[in-house]
Structure 1
Amino acid sequence: MRFQDSDTQKLLRETTRAFLADKFPHARLYAIEKGENPLTADEVRGFAELGWLGLTVPENKGGAGATLLDAAVVIDEFGYAAVPAPIVVTIVASQLLASVEAAPEHLSQLTEGTAIYTVSAATRRRGPIRYGTLAGAAALSMNNGTLTGTLPLVPFAGIATFVLAPLTVDGEPAFGLIPLVGARIEPVRVLDRASTAHVHFDGASANGAILLATGPAAVEMHELCDALMTGFSVVETGGLMRRVLEMSTTYISNRVQFGQPVAKFQAARHRAAELLMQSESARWAAYHAIWRLEEDPSDRREIWLAKHWSNRAGPRMFELAHLLHGGVGVGLDYPLHLYTQWLESAAVQAGTQNEMTNRIVEEAVPSAGKLATAAR
């Protein structure tokens, strides 16, 4: 893996950063936080016009044919700007739709931004997914042409047109593309300010729903979706960490105490050095995990390892950043919390450090799960 952006990635990074800085300054982020000016479907369509939503879709299917690492650069910049947007879920949805031939028209709609796609948080499991357990874990079922159940914590459900989610069909596991027309949307407030909702299907019609995979193929799609969601989310968190690092070092360099910048004091330098170590370790672990997943989609251990490092780094960076900012970092008028709250939220989503360790061990030593179960 190259630890340096290619010329294409440099252009993507510069373009994305400039666009987001212009369209989503801190004033807009505060408005989103207060619910006064939420992200709109028109703004998401603007992302499509810039080519971001169909970035990894093959060129022969209407996309840019970029790599997962190229997509990671864009996602990294969304994290750096702390913009709560459906960039991760849309790129994951495009990967899943491009992997099957069942819904070519949906891939076109996603790429063009004429419909908005999201992925249910129910796809993100806290342990290895198996054929025998997937059916019982699915929160949604399809029987006799109707949908029943609830998809919890669906990102951007309020503006999305379709959701990709695991479900059961006549008791068998499946993975489907579900229209949100007719579903009841229950908004949920979360720390990272993303537009999140529980989606209730109370006997809604299954017209328009497409089964992308069934049986063992559904298990594999579920696991791939989990890995992509986790990997890209960790990249996004890495962007947040980089911004928190920059804000903290800039502050202590400019803040004067006892006649000299705070950064001159050894204690502050030590904490700034730890911020750098935590940020860079987690960020590059995430990039390496995405690179490895693209090289070998069956090898997902690096994803769980990167998530493990991110879970360790996030809360520690929260603590160090607020420590270095002192009283300034406590007030909501200063924008630090727009980034650090997201760090805290990311650390508890889709698995703890111990759960990630268990997943790494489970994949490295398949018998370990059985031994751990027997020990308990």
Structure 2
Amino acid sequence: MTDTSNTRSADSEAEAPRRSRLLRLTRYLPLIAPVLLWAVPCWVLLYTGQHWPLPVALAGTVLSVLGLIGMPLAMVQGHGRRQRDGAAIVGDTLLGTGWVLFTWSVLLGVLLRVALTVADIGDGQDRARAVTWAVLGTAAVLLAWGYAEARRVPRVRRLDVQLPRLGAGLDGLRVALITDTHYGPLDRARWSARVCETVNTLEADLVCHTGDIADGTAERRRAQAVPLGTVRAALARVYVTGNHEYYSEAQGWVDLMDELGWEPLRNRHLLLERGGDTLVVAGVDDVTAESSGLPGHGAHLAGALNGADPDLPVLLLAHQPKFVDQAAAGGVDLQLSGHTHGGQIWPFHHLVRLDQPALAGLSHHGPRTLLYTSRGTGFWGPPFRVFAPSEITLLVLRSPHSPTSP
């Protein structure tokens, strides 16, 4: 007979050094990432066979070194203790620029060079310079387009979502979703007002904000958030905290949203009734809330559903898609989330998928739980969105019991 306890103990002992090594490596990421983001493009663009004139090579190298040093310094000044918005804008912009240059230096540095070699076009220097100009041109176009995408009012994404337990009286219930507005160093008060105007054109019964309102305290970003008070809903406006609230005095944001007329669903629910049928609308704090140390904050689905009739359909607001495992176990019908930004700047979505079960759109989890993950309404940090457009979402809930259902 096998001693399973000894086997588990041996496995744990073998796993511990691996976890320890991984933790040590993650500590060096803030040092490694800037070097990769700026050194790799510098090498690909200047020193892989191009033979640029010395002034060109020196100028390019100096710019790369300035990016390498300036980006982390500006990020610390902007997002650290001092919270200097100007520095944050510089650091965030350099981060996005470095990421785009790094990505396309790697891709075109390999693919285009191979294609030109196979096609026997030009000599080594011609191919190297073609790669340089292709990378710079691609990066310039993507950054300009990505900036415009990030700063525009999001397009409305509309979809019907059928919930098997939804009563006929609630068929056609209109749910507007905004999330991840991330009001921050770039003043977006006018953008915020235009987003709210767009939401109001949807004539929603329920409007939801699933967190990450801003980067900064409620007092500091109040002017950008105040337009949220103009949002109209026939039945309710509800809000849950995101992880970024817990970086900047989350209770202040809960209080401000309450002041603006939104219902903060902090591990609680409310009931929406129409046509003789009822929908449970519940919300939980972000999954990082408990580790924040803020008294009374934490994600508790049981508390959110306490007292609700288990036979009623449940719509749950939870900032991060990863909460869907608990939602499915708890019999939730539809979870609304944000957090992922759809990756925001391609190909960052591959890293997001390592942490979250869904990147964007509607997905199925467990026997009856649906998850809708928004790509977000605003942007975090770098003012760019590349192949990850922002959205305002209108979900029309459908009942299979309605006479008009197919």
TM-score under structure 1 length normalisation: 0.27
Bigger share in helix: 1
Higher relative contact order (CA 8 A, sep 6+): 2
